[in-house]
Chain A
Amino acid sequence: MLRLTLRRRDFVGRSLSGMTGVLERALYSEEEARQPGLLQSMDPRVKIVAVLLLILTAALAHHLITVGVVYGLVLLLAYFSNLSLSSFAKRGWLGITLFSAAVFVPALFLLPGHPLLVLLEGPPIRLAITDASLYSAALFVGRVGTSVSLALLLVSTTRWADQLRGMGRLRVPEVFVVVLGMTYRYIFLLLRAASNLFLARASRTVSATSGAEQRRWAGSAVGVLVKRSVKLSADVHLAMQARGFSGTIRTLDEYIMRDEDWLMLFLTAFAVAGLILLDGRLPWG
């Protein structure tokens, strides 16, 4: 019985908890973006521009100090936007950042410099972590972590609808913005359908099933979902036509820049200019 439970947890259980997790995170993110706070009150266009500028600054920085200052700014903004700093830091650094650290591991042994840790000494191979390679690794991971945290800051303080509108107002093609919005919208619906399929299977599974059988079932579930999504897209198109859609999307600009939005934009530009100046003046290495 225990084995059966574990096997279920292996496949169906993990798939279910993954799907539920995605839905919960999205709902939590929307709730967070509705809280009162500094960034929540800003125009989404300003936030998108500010975050992009800061990501560029972090990505192009040559010094760890510059990246550290950008991350400090991120934490400050998160604090004034009433985000939980511990949870924010965890979400920003785990996952993608750890993955990027793993990607960088081979490079740790390739850069010349003063050896800090020698793993293999002597001909023909010498494996050592140098000060230069460690610094490069820290800089790379720092850049990735800071960029991910900046993106997270944007999505945690801006409702999805506002992000889309912000993109639209920043001259991102409307077709792209609308398709992106609809994709996100219907992913939820299909996730729920997939989750129900998995639940229905779990409720009817009374003994352990082989890996081949599970793969066969997963394949057929994908087929069912594809059929559903094709029908759904045809119905959605009819529903759009029923309200006058004839191939061209029209949207409405609902945003007006206020003084505090201009101030935020100015402060970000000022901070970015200062950081570029700092990065250029710091000694190499």
Chain B
Amino acid sequence: MGIDIQSVIMRLIDVSYSYAGRYPALMDVNLSIGDGEQVVILGANGSGKSTLLKIMDGLIRPDSGRLEAFDEDVTTIVDDPARSRDLHRRVGLVFQDPDVQLFSPTVWDDVAFGPLQMGWPPEDVRRHVSEALETMEITHLAQRAPYELSGGEKKRAAIATALSLDPDVLLLDEPTASLDPRSKAVLVDLIARLGQEKKTIVTATQELEIVEAVGSRAIVFGDSEHHPIADGLVWEILQDTELLLSANLIHEHLHYHGPIRHIHRHETAGGHHS
């Protein structure tokens, strides 16, 4: 499976990364992200999704291979603070754990942190902060402390912290993990709306139920391969149950409906019947 991309905004060529030089997270990853695309990175726990997003945001340097962003080689950008800052302005990363991202006394301070580090004038900072809060529908939470927020509110605040820099690319790491169904639905709607505005969004997830809403293209990472094993349109990927089974995204499950013994496939998250 493959997909034609009109205008490439980010490209990874033979990228590999391992922790402590022993535990591989990514192995020979080749992929491209098109301008204005909404891509879903699908993979089970430990398949390297979070590491991939950190490399794409220039936070960690790959052991080997090349990273290109906006027609520039940014593989070693970690060592160059000025270029790093420019890349971080254009690529926003939302971490899986929102508590990591919300480190300021209030939501407003957290959302303003990025624009202030960029040295923008105060009026621009205020405008970008209020736009980001409005987009994520959390203006009423601006003066709240992070520990006063619910899980869903924290996730929305974390996305707002990245949006306030008005990035060209938004990287979302497991945005709906550990959320209740209603918070999940609200968040998925907001992400889908950002996609409709032609923002380039890369969402790493293992929750198949949100895939169609947040992306049009899906890249599947193998359970043990640590590189993409499939790349295609979302609806094609979701129909390929053998592929999803091999990537540990669905599983076979035996249970009983009253007296009837029943075996069928389940998604890894949510227990949805396929």
* B is a partner of A: yes
Interface residues of A (CB under 8 A from B): 27, 30, 159-161, 164, 181-182, 184-186, 188-189, 232, 235-236, 238-246, 250-253
Taking CB atoms and an 8 Å cut-off, the chain B residues in 128-165 that contact chain A are 143, 145-148, 161-162, 165
Cβ-neighbour of A246 out of B103, B116, B117 (below 8 A): B117
The reply to whether B81 and A243 form a contact with Cβ atoms under 8 Å apart is no
The count of chain B contact residues (Cβ–Cβ below 8 Å) is 39
Cβ-neighbour of A181 out of B81, B104, B112, B117 (below 8 A): B104
> A24 vs B126: C-alpha distance in the bound complex, in angstroms?
32
> A213 vs B161: C-alpha distance in the bound complex, in angstroms?
45
A244-B88 CB under 8 A given contacts A161-B109, A250-B119:
yes
Interface window among B35-43, B94-102, B179-187? B94-102
The reply to whether A250 and B122 form a contact with Cβ atoms under 8 Å apart is no
The reply to whether A185 and B103 form a contact with Cβ atoms under 8 Å apart is yes
The reply to whether B100 and A239 form a contact with Cβ atoms under 8 Å apart is yes
4 closest Cβ pairs, A-B complex: A161-B105, A244-B117, A243-B114, A250-B116
Most chain A beta-carbon contacts within 10 A, residue among B88, B89, B100, B106: B100
The SS class assigned to the B binding surface is: helix
Cβ-neighbour of A239 out of B101, B125, B143 (below 8 A): B101
A185-B147 CB under 8 A given contacts A243-B162, A244-B118:
yes
Question: In the complex, how many angstroms separate the beta carbon of B187 from the nearest chain A beta carbon?
Answer: 19
Q: Is residue B93 within 8 Å, beta carbon to beta carbon, of the partner chain?
A: yes
> A236 vs B89: C-alpha distance in the bound complex, in angstroms?
18
The reply to whether B57 and A189 form a contact with Cβ atoms under 8 Å apart is no
Contacts of B59 in A (CB 8 A): 238, 241-242
The reply to whether B57 and A185 form a contact with Cβ atoms under 8 Å apart is no
Q: Which residue of chain B lies nearest to A247 when distances are taken between CB atoms in the complex?
A: B81
Cβ-neighbour of A252 out of B112, B146, B148, B165 (below 8 A): B112
> A27 vs B149: C-alpha distance in the bound complex, in angstroms?
12
Contacts of A236 in B (CB 8 A): 100, 103
Q: Which residue of chain B lies nearest to A248 when distances are taken between CB atoms in the complex?
A: B117
Q: Is residue B85 within 8 Å, beta carbon to beta carbon, of the partner chain?
A: yes
